[in-house]
């Protein structure tokens, strides 16, 4: 990471180009055994996402938490979270895996897109899912449910550490998504993970090409020294 608390464009671009499977393997080498969100699936498997986490934490609803039932954009934490989304941010919502109501719907998802948001992730449900699918924005969730969030969820905090899909997410973490799902990359190692993942995918592309051509696994997967030399040549040729 070049500086400050944002990843460089190149880091994000590379993370967007590699698979969560590759990132998972690289994170493991850095001591992170499991950073993939459980039971969180893409609504748009055709899109890829890599951006900084803006977090929203729901707790269970109860009558005295929101007696008016009115939503005030200046005090409601869901609205504050959405309005704090900037270019390259991913809104990540802790819903405790409770899918009995949507966590947000079509209009708010559109607002996230308007603000330059990179995507939205929840371990609960969305409402208006059929419309959200039409927005060109990577979105991930556990289920779909038409009920209003207020029936089940109360927005309690913005930009605190949360758990989403079983994984701890800190504000600013890099959230990467592809058709397999969503993985969390701690900001401090985002540059390293990005570079190593990119390299590993090059090597796997080489191996896959050989296996597709009928090569047997022995010697190539995992590659022995001869195969690694062959790979270096292949890479040089390809880069020219």
Q: Are 79 and 73 in contact (CB under 8 A)?
A: yes
Residue 240: CB minimum distance to a copy of itself, A: 25
Residues numbered 152 to 181 that lie near a copy of itself (CB under 8 A) are 154, 156-157, 160-163, 166-168, 178-181
Cis preceding linkage at 222, omega within 30 = yes
- Binding pattern to a copy of itself, positions 44-73, x when CB under 8 A? -x-------------xxxxxxx----xx-x
Residue 153: CB minimum distance to a copy of itself, A: 9
Closest CA to 15 of 176, 153, 171: 176
Q: How far apart are CA 182 and CA 142, in angstroms?
A: 11
Q: How far apart are CA 182 and CA 201, in angstroms?
A: 18
Closest CA to 107 of 78, 87, 86, 64: 78
Residues binding a copy of itself: number (CB under 8 A):
81
Residues numbered 206 to 235 that lie near a copy of itself (CB under 8 A) are 207-208, 211-212, 214, 216-218, 221-222
Residues numbered 128 to 147 that lie near a copy of itself (CB under 8 A) are 128-131, 144-147
Residue 228: CB minimum distance to a copy of itself, A: 15
Query: Which C-beta is closer to a copy of itself: that of 32 or that of 198?
Result: 32
Q: Tokens for 193? A: 């993970």
């Amino acid at each position: 990471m070049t500086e400050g608390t944002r990843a460089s464009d190149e880091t994000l671009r590379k993370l967007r180009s590699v698979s969560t499977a590759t990132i998972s393997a690289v994170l493991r080498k850095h001591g992170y055994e499991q950073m993939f969100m459980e039971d969180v699936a893409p609504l748009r498997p055709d899109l890829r996402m890599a951006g900084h986490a803006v977090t929203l934490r729901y707790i269970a609803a109860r009558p005295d938490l929101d007696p008016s039932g009115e939503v005030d954009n200046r005090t409601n934490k869901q609205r504050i979270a959405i309005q704090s989304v900037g270019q390259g941010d991913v809104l990540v919502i802790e819903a405790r895996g409770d899918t009995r109501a949507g966590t947000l719907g079509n209009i708010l998802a559109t607002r996230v897109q308007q603000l330059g948001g990179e995507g939205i992730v929840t371990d609960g449900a969305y409402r208006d899912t059929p419309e959200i699918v039409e927005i060109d924005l990577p979105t991930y969730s556990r289920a779909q449910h038409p009920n209003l969030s207020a029936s089940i969820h109360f927005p309690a905090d913005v930009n605190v550490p949360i758990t989403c899909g079983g994984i701890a997410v800190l504000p600013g973490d890099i959230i990467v998504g592809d058709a397999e799902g969503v993985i969390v990359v701690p900001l401090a190692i985002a540059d390293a993970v990005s570079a190593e993942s990119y390299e590993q995918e090059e090597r796997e592309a080489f191996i896959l090409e050989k296996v597709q051509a009928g090569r047997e696994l022995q010697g190539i997967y995992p590659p022995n020294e001869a195969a690694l030399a062959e790979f270096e040549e292949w890479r040089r040729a390809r880069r020219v």
